């Protein structure tokens, strides 16, 4: 009797250990690579996601471990106020996701921003309010009351997935004008999950609204790391410091770029310095006869697609992420300085408009 009992006891202990090792063993974070801008820190942020407290499929702490593991700096859990399909199992408590996630976020140095999704039929649609003190006052029948109360708390408010029910339903209505004129909403999702909204993109440029990209994730995110060809849609935020307060200041100032699939979407004033911080020609330049060999280093997590607009250089160049590409340039005057003029077709400064870039090559004398 003794031996089998002891054996089952040992098996039980081994099983328990296996179950708890991740809790006190190792957790690994894989960094996302984007350079900083002069005087600013590039923070990788996902400001729209759900848990079982609305229609998501995970407990709030899971959102923290996923985000930290995949290299994010800040997240906001934004459960729907008005839509809780699991409320028979999980009682309505708008503050609870933040409370449950906060300890794990603090332990990992992940910035957790208190937020929610104000959820009305389209139009007017869904709006996220983040940097809230208290979500409860937003649980009110009138849509504009909820928006106004968000603003009374100093929240940053943005319009989610503008055309998710079609362009017609995503039209700009009087209610949006009222909000816009009162400065009650401050940004729009240009990208949500796998969708890109060119109309939202255009409105952000025309009306000086902040561009956001978010995952709006509901299911567990099983990725171990973010990769150039497999990552969440997120917002790069150019903040003065690595704090929630600085993120808020940067959002109100519009200092963002969206990372969506193999594209970056943002204002030229941010994309251009970000590109030049990431993509550099290594020195010295090797020249031979009428040929110059350029080693072009691409240090960020985006493959860059270049199409020539000037007279020098190959017709198109692909610079894979976090790699160096040898580019051969033939010219009648190989010793003179060269300006390689291209458009980066997957770095969008407006719908269907790539970022113009000039790769400057020094002369040899
Ligand atoms: Zn929504
Ligand atoms: Zn949502």
The confidence score (pLDDT) of residue 20 equals 46
The confidence score (pLDDT) of residue 116 equals 98
Whether 21 has a pLDDT exceeding 60, the answer reads no
The confidence score (pLDDT) of residue 362 equals 87
61 token code pair: 């702490």
Whether 22 has a pLDDT exceeding 70, the answer reads no
Whether 15 has a pLDDT exceeding 70, the answer reads no
Q: For the chain, how many helices (H) and strands (E)?
A: 8, 18
Q: Cβ–Cβ contacts within 10 Å for residue 60, how many?
A: 24
Tell how far the Cα of 364 is from the centroid of ligand 1, in angstroms.
56
Tell how far the Cα of 69 is from the centroid of ligand 1, in angstroms.
25
Instruction: Write the pLDDT tens digit of every residue in 145-164.
Output: 999 999 999 999 999 999 99
Whether 165 has a pLDDT exceeding 90, the answer reads yes
Q: What is the DSSP letter of 224?
A: S
The confidence score (pLDDT) of residue 26 equals 85
Tell how far the Cα of 320 is from the centroid of ligand 2, in angstroms.
32
Q: Which residues of 83-106 are buried (b: 16+ CB within 10 A; e: fewer)?
A: ebeeeeeeeeebebbbebbbebbe
Instruction: Write the pLDDT tens digit of every residue in 209-227.
Output: 999 999 999 999 999 999 9
Q: Which segments of 171-290 does DSSP mark as H helices, in order? A: 174-181, 198-207, 244-253, 268-278
Q: How distant, in Å, are the alpha carbons of 62, 93, 165, 188, 231 from that of 46?
A: 14, 22, 22, 14, 11
Q: What are phi and psi of 40, to 5 degrees?
A: -130, 155
Instruction: Write the pLDDT tens digit of every residue in 236-273.
Output: 999 999 999 999 999 999 999 999 999 999 999 999 99
Instruction: Write the pLDDT tens digit of every residue in 331-365.
Output: 888 788 999 999 999 999 999 999 999 999 988 76
**Which ligand minimizes its atom distance to the CA of 127?**
1
**Which ligand minimizes its atom distance to the CA of 160?**
1
Q: What is the DSSP letter of 142?
A: -
The confidence score (pLDDT) of residue 75 equals 98
Q: How distant, in Å, are the alpha carbons of 6, 307, 314, 357 from that of 310?
A: 78, 9, 10, 10
Tell how far the Cα of 233 is from the centroid of ligand 2, in angstroms.
13
Residue pair 216/235 in contact by the 8 Å Cβ criterion? no
Instruction: Write the pLDDT tens digit of every residue in 94-143.
Output: 999 999 999 999 999 999 999 999 999 999 999 999 999 999 999 999 99
Instruction: Write the pLDDT tens digit of every residue in 37-94.
Output: 999 999 999 999 999 999 999 999 999 999 999 999 999 999 999 999 999 999 999 9
HEC states along 36-84?
Answer: CECCEEEEEEECCECCCCCCCCCCHHHHHHHHHHCCCCEEEECCECCCC
Tell how far the Cα of 20 is from the centroid of ligand 2, in angstroms.
32
Tell how far the Cα of 57 is from the centroid of ligand 2, in angstroms.
13
Instruction: Write the pLDDT tens digit of every residue in 189-205.
Output: 999 999 999 999 999 99
């Amino acid at each position: 009797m003794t031996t089998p009992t002891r054996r089952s006891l040992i098996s039980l202990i081994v099983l328990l250990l296996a179950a708890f090792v991740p809790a006190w063993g190792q957790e690994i974070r894989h960094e996302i690579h984007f350079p900083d801008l002069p005087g600013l820190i590039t923070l990788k942020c996902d400001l729209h996601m759900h848990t079982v407290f609305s229609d998501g499929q995970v407990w709030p702490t899971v959102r923290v471990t996923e985000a930290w593991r995949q290299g994010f700096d800040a997240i906001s859990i934004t459960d729907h106020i008005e839509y809780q399909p699991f409320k028979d199992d999980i009682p309505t408590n708008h503050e609870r996701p933040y409370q449950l996630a906060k300890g794990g976020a603090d332990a990992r140095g992940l910035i957790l921003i208190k937020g929610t999704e104000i959820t009305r039929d389209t139009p007017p649609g869904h709006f996220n309010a983040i940097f809230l003190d208290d979500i409860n006052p937003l649980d009110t029948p009138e849509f504009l009351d909820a928006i106004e109360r968000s603003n009374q708390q100093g929240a940053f408010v943005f319009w989610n997935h503008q055309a998710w029910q079609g362009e017609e339903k995503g039209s700009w209505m009087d209610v949006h004008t009222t909000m816009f004129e009162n400065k009650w909403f401050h940004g729009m999702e240009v990208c949500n999950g796998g969708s890109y909204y060119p109309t939202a993109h255009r409105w952000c440029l025309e009306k000086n609204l902040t561009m956001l990209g978010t995952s709006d994730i509901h299911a567990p995110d099983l990725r171990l790391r973010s990769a150039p060809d497999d990552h969440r849609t997120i917002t790069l935020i150019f903040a003065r410091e690595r704090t929630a307060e600085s993120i808020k200041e940067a959002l109100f100032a519009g200092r963002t770029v969206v990372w969506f699939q193999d594209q970056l979407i943002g204002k030229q004033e941010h994309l251009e310095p970000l590109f030049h911080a990431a993509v550099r020609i290594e020195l010295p330049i090797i020249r031979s006869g009428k040929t110059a060999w350029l080693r072009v280093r691409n240090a960020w997590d985006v493959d860059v697609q270049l199409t020539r607009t000037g007279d020098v250089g190959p017709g198109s160049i692909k610079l894979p992420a976090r790699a160096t590409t040898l580019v051969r340039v033939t010219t009648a005057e190989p010793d003179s300085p060269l300006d390689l003029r291209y458009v980066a077709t997957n770095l969008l400064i407006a719908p269907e408009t790539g970022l113009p870039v000039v790769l400057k090559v020094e002369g040899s004398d």
